[in-house]
Every structure is written in structure tokens, then in C-alpha cells.
Amino acid sequence: MANTYTQIHIQCVMAVKYRNSLIQPHWKDQLQKYITGITQNYGHKMLAINNMPDHLHMFFGFRPNQSLSDLMRIVKSESTKWINDKQFTPAIFNWQEGYGAFSYSRSQVTKVTEYVLNQEEHHRKKTFLEEYQQFLEQFEVEYDERYIFKLPE
């Protein structure tokens, strides 16, 4: 749309179903490139992407030409299909339902980029659940503990 200018920075966090540690080091770079391609094909700009075996962070410049929920549905479904087609995991791969999305100002871009790229360091001190709950509390997001990324009971 002519005369529309935006600057929206979003960090999304998504977990492997049941937080299983399925993303292996030998294919994580391929996964990150694939998800970056999906995101950028829809006009958004990937600023940083990184993952641990059980979850993934993506930080990008968001263009309001589609809804965030639409983008995340596409990223998760297309990357799931790609992982399964490549047979990277012995069992069927799925992302857990839902995701976290957090917005940042331009002044925070460098700090958030560094945070995403240094996931291995952060997770030497903090679990994924601790990290995720900290995001929810820091951003004052009300949540129901029943729906946080937990193992099935």
C-alpha cells in the first residue's frame, strides 16, 4: 500500500512437540535456512534465527502484509513437512501447538539479535521453560500454566 511505513520487530519462539530434543546439530543450519527462506518469501526480513534441540527462536522485521498467526502457521507447517520429507528424525516431527511472539523497538534490535544467536550460552544457565516463562512475565502476558510448553501428563 502506497504511503505506508512500518518498523515492527518480532521474536517468535516455538517448541518441538512435547519439547522432544529432535533438532540435531547436523541439520539445524539447513532448518534455519529453510525457515529464513519461508519468512523472507513472504516479505519479512530475518534478523536472527537459532535453535536448541527442543525449540527455535526467530527474530525478524515484520511486514504487515499478512497476519502474524498466518505467517507462523505457514512456517510451522512447511518446515514440519520439509523435516519429515527429509527424514531427519526417526519418528514423525511436529511443532507444539502455539508459539510465543514478542515485539521490540528499534533500539533493542542489536541486543535481541545477540540473544537469539547466543542460545547455547543462555541455556547453560536456564532451561527452555524458565526462559519462556521469563518472556511471558517480562512482557506481562497472562498465561495459563496448563498451556505452557509442557510434557504430556
Q: Model confidence over 74-90: pLDDT tens digits? A: 999 999 999 999 999 99
**More confidently predicted of 10 and 143:** 10
Domain limits, the chain:
8-147
Fold of 8-147: Alpha-Beta Plaits (3.30.70)
CA–CA dist 16, 51 (Å, integer): 10
Q: At 56, give phi and psi (nearest 5°).
A: -140, 140
CA–CA dist 37, 20 (Å, integer): 24
CA–CA dist 152, 150 (Å, integer): 6
CA–CA dist 38, 77 (Å, integer): 11
Confidence of residue 150 (pLDDT cuts 50, 70, 90): low
pLDDT higher than 80, residue 21: yes
pLDDT for 128 equals 87
Confidence of residue 1 (pLDDT cuts 50, 70, 90): low
